Amino acid sequence: MRISVIGCGYLGAVHAATLAAMGHEVVGIDVDPGKVQHLAQGVAPFHEPGLDELLQDGHATGRLTFATNPEAARDAQVHFLCVGTPQDKTSDRADLTFLISALETLLPHLAAGAVVVGKSTVPVGTVDMLRGILAPRPDVLLGWNPEFLRQGTAVKDSLVPDRLVYGVEGGRPAAFNAATGAPLGVAAALDAVYEPLLAAGIPRLVCSFATAELIKSAANAYLATKISFINAVAGLCDAAGADVTELSEAMGLDPRIGSRYLHAGLGFGGGCLPKDIRSFSAQAATLGVPAVQDWMRLVDGVNLGQRERTVSLATELCGGSLAGRAITVLGASFKPDTDDIRDSPALDVADRLAAVGAHVTVTDPKAVNLAWRRYPRLRFEASIGKALQGAELVLLLTEWDEYRQLCPAVAGQQVRRRVVLDARNVLDAAAWQEEGWAVRGLGTPAGVLKAAAAAR
C-alpha cells in the first residue's frame, strides 16, 4: 500500500520504518528539515536500538522516503497522524495544536477516498473534534489506532505488538459486513496495512472512537499506577525495615499481579506517562469522574515524591549537607536505551542536588550531548571513569547495563568515598559491600545506612 506518516518523532519515525519493512511504500513527513535530512540518510535523529538498520533497509529498497512538503503525501491511500501531544504549558491537559495543524495541512492533499488514522495519544473526544476539520471531505474516512510502543524497544514493539486497536465510526458493529463478517472501511484498510502482523496471530480489537482513545490513556495510567503502588510500598518497607525488592519479586510471581512495572525506585519520567496521567486526570475532571481524577493525582504525587526521597537520602548520606560535596550521577536519560531526557527523573534529581550547592557530575552512555546545554548547573562527562573521579557519593539514577555491570572494585579506586545510592535498586548490594562500599537503595533495608555512616 502507499502510506504517509505525518510527524517523524519517536513514534512516527519508527512507525514509518516498520511499515516499510512490512512491504509498504511509505513517505514520512515532518516540518523539521534537519530531522527529515537525517532520516532520509538512514540515520535516526535519536537513539533507538535497531532503528538505523530498519531505516537503511527502507532506503535501500526504495520503499521509505521522507519529505517536509505535505504534498508528498498526496498519493497515499492511508495517512497516519503521529505528531506529539505534549502537556499544555499552563494546565494538565494535552496540547492538541500539532495534531490539529497536521490534519489541516494534510487536508488539501488528500486523494478521493483516503483513510486518515490517528496514532497519537489523545484525550477522549478528540476524534469528534477532528471530524469537524474533515467535514469538507465526506469521502475521507477517519480511524484511531493507538500506539503502545516503548522507547528503547520501539522496533520490536512495532513489529511484534501485543495487540492492535482500531477505533472506528460506529464501533465494532459498523466495522464488519453483517452477512459475511468481512471488514469494511477503516477496519478493512487497517487490516490490509497490518496484514503480516494479523497473519502472525497478533490480536486486533475493533471498538468505538471513545473506547480506542480511552484504551491508550487507561493502559498508561495503569502502568503508572503499578509503578507508584510499589514505590509507595517501598516507603512502607523503609519505615518497617523490610526489603521491597524481595517483596515485589514474591508479589510478581502471582500471575494475577505479574512482575513487570513492579520495580521500585526513582519512578517514571519521559514524554509519555507523566503527561498522560495528568491529561487523564484532567479528562476525568471534565467528565465529572472524581475517582479517576484523584487516583491519577495520587499516582503523580507518589512518583514525584520518589525524587524528593532520593534527594533527602543523598543529603543524609552526605552527613546532612550537600554544599560543596562532589556527587557523581550515573544516568541522564529518563530510562535506559534511549537518549530522551524529557522529564528525566535522573536530571531532575541531579539538578536539585546542584541547586543546594553540591558539585554534580553526570554521565550517560547516550544523552550527555543533549543534556549539557539544558542543565547549566551540572557538569557532564561522557567517560564513566572520569565522571567517578573524586566522588564522595555515587547515585545510580538510570539503570543502563553499563552501570548495572559496573565493577565495584574498579569504581572504588576512582572515588573518594565508597558510598552509592542505588535509586533503581539494580546493583548486587552484597558484591558492592564486599568491596567496602556503603550501599543504599529505595525501600531496601535501612541497616546498610550504618555502613554509610561508618564511611563518612
For 203-258, the DSSP string reads -EEEE-HHHHHHHHHHHHHHHHHHHHHHHHHHHHHHHHT--HHHHHHHHHTSTTT-
Main-chain dihedrals φ then ψ at residue 159, nearest 5 degrees: -80, -30
The amino acid occupying position 24 is H
CB of 9: closest distance to ligand UGA in angstroms? 10
Q: Three-state DSSP class for 359?
A: strand
Is residue 407 annotated as part of the catalytic site, yes or no? no
Three-point CA angle 268, 269, 274, nearest 5°:
95
- Pick the piece of the chain touching ligand UGA (CB under 6 A) from 137-145, 269-277, 309-317, 381-389: 269-277
Among 5, 142, 273, 302, binds ligand UGA (CB under 6 A): 273
How many other C-beta atoms are found inside a 10 Å radius of the C-beta of residue 316? Answer: 14
Structure-block grid coordinates of residue 284? 476525568
The 217-256 contact track toward ligand UGA, x by CB under 6 A, reads ---x--x---x-----------------------------
Buried/exposed code over 71-83 (b: 16+ C-beta within 10 A; e: otherwise): ebbbebbbbbbbb
- Pick the piece of the chain touching ligand UGA (CB under 6 A) from 201-209, 234-242, 263-271, 357-365: 263-271
For residues 435 and 408, the answer to whether their CB atoms sit within 8 Å is yes
Q: Is 106 in the site for ligand UGA (CB under 6 A)?
A: no
The amino acid occupying position 133 is I
Residues in the chain: 456
Q: Which residues contact 48 (CB under 8 A, 6 or more apart)?
A: 10, 13, 14, 151, 152, 154, 155, 338
Among 167, 183, 267, 331, binds ligand UGA (CB under 6 A): 267
Structure-block grid coordinates of residue 338? 534511549
Among 9, 269, 441, 443, binds ligand UGA (CB under 6 A): 269
Nearer to ligand UGA, 141 or 223 (CB): 223
Number of H helices, E strands in the chain: 20, 14
Among 46, 176, 261, 372, binds ligand UGA (CB under 6 A): 261
Q: Is 126 in the site for ligand UGA (CB under 6 A)?
A: no
CB of 436: closest distance to ligand UGA in angstroms? 29
Among 14, 76, 96, 149, binds ligand UGA (CB under 6 A): 149
CB of 376: closest distance to ligand UGA in angstroms? 24
Structure-block grid coordinates of residue 416? 573518594
For 87-147, the DSSP string reads BPSSSSSB--HHHHHHHHHHGGGPPTT-EEEE-S---TTHHHHHHHHTTT-TTSEEEE---
CB of 113: closest distance to ligand UGA in angstroms? 30
Among 80, 98, 194, 268, binds ligand UGA (CB under 6 A): 268
CB of 117: closest distance to ligand UGA in angstroms? 16
Q: Is 335 in the site for ligand UGA (CB under 6 A)?
A: yes
CB of 352: closest distance to ligand UGA in angstroms? 17
- Pick the piece of the chain touching ligand UGA (CB under 6 A) from 194-202, 262-270, 319-327, 441-449: 262-270
Nearer to ligand UGA, 96 or 322 (CB): 96
CB of 256: closest distance to ligand UGA in angstroms? 17
Q: Is 263 in the site for ligand UGA (CB under 6 A)?
A: yes
Nearer to ligand UGA, 143 or 183 (CB): 143
> How many angstroms separate the CA atoms of 246 and 264, rounded?
11
- Compute CA distances 232 → 57, 239, 301, whole Å: 45, 11, 10
Structure-block grid coordinates of residue 234? 517501598
Nearer to ligand UGA, 42 or 267 (CB): 267
Among 80, 229, 334, 437, binds ligand UGA (CB under 6 A): 334
Q: Is 148 in the site for ligand UGA (CB under 6 A)?
A: yes
Q: How far is residue 58 CA from its own chain's centroid?
A: 25
Among 2, 74, 137, 150, binds ligand UGA (CB under 6 A): 150
The amino acid occupying position 329 is V
Q: Is 159 in the site for ligand UGA (CB under 6 A)?
A: no
Catalytic residue among 8, 82, 237, 272: 272
Q: Is 425 in the site for ligand UGA (CB under 6 A)?
A: no
Q: Give the residue numbers marked as catalytic.
A: 272
Interaction site with ligand UGA (CB under 6 A)? 121, 147-151, 220, 223, 227, 261-263, 265, 267-270, 272-273, 276, 334-335
